[in-house]
Amino acid sequence: MNFQFTHVNAKQTSKKLKDFRGSVQRRINGSALNFAATPMLNAARSKASKETGALKRSLIKVSRKYHQAGVVMTLVGIDTAAEAIKDGKLRRPVKYAHLVEYGTAHHSARPFIRPAFASTKHIAKNRFFSKLKTAVKKEIDRLAAKGVKP
């Protein structure tokens, strides 16, 4: 099966993906989003405060699929279950990450999420479309091998 994949924007991508059933669309989008979010996660970890290392270790990426709405998203943020002990006290990064990011009246901001997003958004976009292209081609080849049109 011959498949032309040119530079696509979001509308063209949506049209191509609508040829597949919902579960395939979600799988392809989820895979591409997860791949695209990796540089952002790595950048946020490198910029995170290193006082105990708990904040850096608590940064994760999570993919969510909302089947009824047909929405797939990948989030980069703080793991709510992450904990660390410093000076005998339990510290939970989810309780103070926003204070580090935005600062307080007593401490200046040390942003790590926003700069990570700003520095990697173009890389993420390119990685998303690269992975999407590969995944769509792979799915078309898989369906062609079964003798099914997408």
- In this structure, is residue 102 part of a structural domain? yes
Go through the chain and tell me how many residues it has. Answer: 150
- In this structure, is residue 143 part of a structural domain? no
Domain count of the fold of the chain: 1
In this prediction, residue 1 has a pLDDT band, given cuts at 50, 70 and 90, of very low
- In this structure, is residue 147 part of a structural domain? no
The answer, yes or no, to whether residue 53 has pLDDT greater than 70, is yes
- In this structure, is residue 7 part of a structural domain? no
- In this structure, is residue 105 part of a structural domain? yes
In this prediction, residue 149 has a pLDDT band, given cuts at 50, 70 and 90, of low
R_g (Cα) of the chain, nearest Å: 20
C-alpha separations of 3 from 86, 139, 144, 147 in Å: 56, 11, 11, 15
**59-68 per-position pLDDT tens digit:** 999 998 888 8
Whole domain around residue 107: which residue ranges? 21-135
The answer, yes or no, to whether residue 116 has pLDDT greater than 80, is yes
Percentages of the chain per state (helix, strand, coil), in multiples of 5: 55, 15, 30
- In this structure, is residue 88 part of a structural domain? yes
Crossing angle, helix 10-17 and helix 113-146, to 10 degrees? 30
Q: Read off the DSSP letter of residue 82.
A: -
Look at residue 150 in the predicted model and tell me its pLDDT: 57
Cα(59)–Cα(49) distance, integer angstroms? 11
Q: What percent of the chain clears pLDDT 70, i.e. is strictly above it?
A: 87
- In this structure, is residue 70 part of a structural domain? yes
What average pLDDT does the segment 125-139 reach?
Answer: 88
User: CB atoms < 10 A from the CB of 135, how many?
Assistant: 19
- In this structure, is residue 14 part of a structural domain? no
What average pLDDT does the segment 8-12 reach?
Answer: 58
